[in-house]
Amino acid sequence: MTRTRWIWLVLAVLYAAFFSWYTSFGGPLSDEEIDGYMAMAKGNPEAPPPEKLAILRRFLEEDTGDDFVMVNVIDMYETPLQIEGVEPGESSDEVMAKYMAYMFPALFSRASHPVLFGTAANSAMDIMNADGMEEWTQGAGMRYRSRRDMMEITFNPEFRGSHEFKIAAMAKTIAFPIDPWFQLGDPRLVLALLFGLIGCGLSWREAARRAPDI
């Protein structure tokens, strides 16, 4: 096999490995999986009320099997709630970082990550029928590989302790999923273009190296 073919083979294998990790192939949740996750939610010491359980079930039953984004708008406390694990003088951002210390490894291991994050530049500039929702401090969009992955993260026993830090840091938040969704910078597309560029460049170099001197 020539060096050029080896180059393209290595790039193809690397891309296939990334694509298979980043993409959900499990399909929509089965009835058995939904019942299992609902049982976990109801068995949680801080189980949500029936109306929120109904919302969760509908979210799981309408699973497309694809990735989705959870849109979050967040208002942080000026001073975090003083719960166990929060040190005097710590800011809400520092307390939130303790929560994310669990979340980020759990997210990235399942190809889930932020697609946008930023600090509010002003109070809400367009608001309708939402009194008291004028002030926010942050906004974010979190990409999940699948609803199955989100449930696995949420119901991991390690999540329960760290979730208290989120409650201590956030004064209020709104979160809702969007699916279907799309972005121009999908990493699968960006990586395919990058690998294509690298492959073409290396192939050109190999061709130039083998070309006879004139």
> Mind giving me the DSSP string for 44-69?
STTPPPHHHHHHHHHHHHT--SS-EE
**Residues 38 and 111 placed together within one structural domain of the fold:** no
Backbone CA torsion sign across 51, 33, 110, 158 = positive
Regarding whether 151 and 106 lie in a shared domain, the answer is: yes
Q: What percent of the chain has pLDDT over 70?
A: 98
Kindly state whether residues 136 and 205 are assigned to the same domain.
no
Query: Is the per-residue pLDDT at 214 higher than 70?
Result: no
Same-domain status, 11 and 71: no
45 and 113 housed in the same domain = no
Per the domain annotation, does 16 fall within a domain? yes
> Do 71 and 116 fall into the same domain?
yes
> What does the pLDDT look like over 7-41, one tens digit per residue?
999 999 999 999 999 999 999 999 999 999 999 99
Please check whether residue 185 lies inside any domain of the structure. Answer: no
Residues 13 and 39 in one domain: no
What tens digit of pLDDT does each residue of 107-124 get?
999 999 999 999 999 999
CATH code (residue 105):
3.30.70.100
How far apart, in whole angstroms, are the C-alpha atoms of residue 104 and residue 112? 9
CA nearest to 74, candidates 161, 137, 153: 137
Question: 3 is in which domain, residue-wise?
Answer: 1-24+192-214
Whether residue 102 is contained in a domain is answered as yes
167 within some domain: yes
Structure token pair of residue 47:
């189980």
Per the domain annotation, does 204 fall within a domain?
yes
Per-residue DSSP letter, 29? P
Q: Are residues 72 and 166 in the same domain?
A: yes
Q: Taking the model in full, what pTM does it have?
A: 0.90
With b meaning 16 or more CB within 10 Å and e meaning fewer, what string describes 137-168?
bbebbbbbbbbbbbbebbbeeebeebebbbeb
Structural domain count of the chain: 3
Domain presence at residue 186: no
Same domain, 162 and 137: yes
pLDDT digits (tens, 9 = 90+) for 54-90: 999 999 999 999 999 999 999 999 999 998 889 999 9
